[in-house]
Amino acid sequence: MAESKPPIEVRTFKFDGSAHRSWPARIVQQEGSLLVLDASFETEVRHAILGTISTGTLSTEFYWLDRWYNIFRFSNVSGELRNHYCNVNVPPTFDGHVLSYIDLDIDILIEPDFSYRVLDREEFEQNAVKYGYPDHVREHAYQAVDDLVMMIESRAFPFN
């Protein structure tokens, strides 16, 4: 049996540096700028848009250290695809133990049939003013949404 890698911690922050969320995950793949992690929900989460995420829901997480987004593939305990969820963020950093990133609020929810909704644009605009996002951050965030929509619609990795 292959030896399991020790868990790392994923930490998300708001633009002002305040902590937002954190959870443990395991590295499945690390190739170039791509890190693929596996995590599972240790407690039930009630989410306004995603509904109830049951304990044991699996999350395969795709992070690129040079891209302004990440992609989560949520699967039920049975392995059946629940949905994909994309976060627009400042490119993450990884020190070998902690992967951290600044969440820029815009998200995309993708259903199993590949229909999708871009979420939280208003929250992004409010926080852009509140935290004083520089122009280049706004531009990268909008470009990240465009890139993700193109990936979803063309079924590019990891939507293939």
Name all domains of the chain by residue range, CATH numbers in brackets: 8-154 (2.40.380.10)
Could you tell me the pLDDT band of residue 3, with boundaries at 50, 70 and 90? Answer: low
- Which backbone phi and psi does 44 adopt, to 5 degrees? -65, 140
Contact 91, 65 (CB under 8 A): yes
Amino acid identity, residue 57?
Answer: T
- How far is residue 18 from each of residues 21, 62, 67, 101, 155, measured CA to CA in Å? 10, 23, 21, 11, 35
Residue 49 pLDDT level (bands cut at 50, 70, 90): confident
At residue 114, the 3 state secondary structure works out as: coil
pLDDT at residue 43 is higher than 90: no
- pTM higher than the cut 0.85: yes
